[in-house]
Each structure stands twice: as C-alpha cells, then as structure tokens.
Amino acid sequence: MMILAQAEMVPLYIVLAVILLVVIWVVATYNVLVRLRQHVKESWSGIDTELRRRYDLIPNLVEAVKGYAAHEQQVLVAVTEARNRAAGSTGSPESQARDENAFVGSLRQLFALAENYPDLKANENFLQLQKELANTEDRIQAARRFYNANVRDINTRVEVFPSNLIAGMFKFAKEEFFEIEDAGVRLPPQVSL
C-alpha cells in the first residue's frame, strides 16, 4: 500500500520540480536584466563625467583664443552657446547626441580659426588645453564604447527568446545607443600644431 502511494506521488514530484525550475529561471533572468540595466546606468554616468570634463575645458580654451582673435566674436559666441546647450542637455542619449553634434561642430570652427593665428598655435596655454581636450576626447570615446556595449547586452536580453518573456512581464525596455549621427563628427577635433 505504501509503495503504491509513493508511486502515485512521482508525477506530483515531477510537476513540483518543473515548477521550481521555472521559478528559479524567472528569478535568475530577472536578476540578469536588473544587473544589465544597472550597468547601462553606470556606463552612462561615465560618459556624463567625461562630457562634463570637456565642458569645463572649453571656457579656458575660448579665453585663450579670445586674446588672439578678439574680432572673431561670432565663432567664440557659437562655441560658448553650443557648449552651454550640450552641458545643459539631460534628455535621452539621442537628444544629447544631437547637442553633442552641434558642440563638436562649433569646436571644429574654433580650431579652424586658431589655424589663422600662428602666435596662438604656439601659445603654451593653448597647446596644453588642446592636449587636455584630445585626452578627454579619447576618454569620451572609451566611455561611449563601454556604454554602447552595455546597451547592446541589455537589448539582446530584452529581445531574445525566452528572456524576452520576462523582460516584457517586468517592463524592461530597450535602451538607446549613444551615437553621433554625422560620421565626420565621430572623429575627435583635429589638433594640429
């Protein structure tokens, strides 16, 4: 009698084991998605830090150019305004990328302007600022690659089966890549000495 009762319990044990495995899988998948979302937020913070660093360099660079090219006020004002717009941008990566496009374009105009002033190009302060800006651009590129890799990872998890079921259930959404639209803008500002 006892053996018969145990035999009848086997299907119940199998069902309980399957339910337990499904629950473990749901919890594990949810935790992976949360971890990936946190990686995206952390890596965005890295980009933001490097952009702030660049924004802090620009007023010094504009001041260095001002002394040599005071009559080029339009370019200096455009750089300052573009910097302020980009620094104040707190929207999505896409909207911030648009502001960055305008800002990098104005920086190119500033460096093109500097080409017309040999004394400025030889100024030690200006050279140091250019070097620091080039270093910051490299750091921004590294932070952008790190961020976009994390976005790729979470977007893959959100889209692939079966983790997309958990992502949809708990409202995990795809994240935006931080990309510069104009291929020419992808290059750091040219610093020629």
What residue spans define the domains of the chain? 9-186
SS3 70: coil
Mean predicted confidence (pLDDT) in 64-77: 77
Q: How far is CA 192 from CA 67, 71, 122, 182, 189, in A?
A: 19, 22, 11, 22, 10
**pLDDT for position 3:** 65
Q: Is the peptide bond before 162 cis (omega within 30 degrees of 0)?
A: yes
Pairwise CA distance, residues 114 & 110, whole Å: 6
Q: Between residues 32 and 58, which one has the greater pLDDT?
A: 32
Pairwise CA distance, residues 175 & 154, whole Å: 7
Encoded tokens for 84: 């302020």
pTM here is 0.77
47-59, pLDDT tens digit by residue? Answer: 999 999 999 988 8
Whether residue 116 is predicted with pLDDT greater than 60 in this model: the reply is: yes
Whether residue 44 is predicted with pLDDT greater than 80 in this model: the reply is: yes
Pairwise CA distance, residues 83 & 10, whole Å: 70
**pLDDT for position 156:** 97
Q: Between residues 67 and 163, which one has the greater pLDDT?
A: 163
* Averaged pLDDT of the chain: 85
Pairwise CA distance, residues 165 & 123, whole Å: 60
What is the fold of 9-186?
Answer: de novo design (two linked rop proteins) (1.20.1440)
Whether residue 183 is predicted with pLDDT greater than 50 in this model: the reply is: no
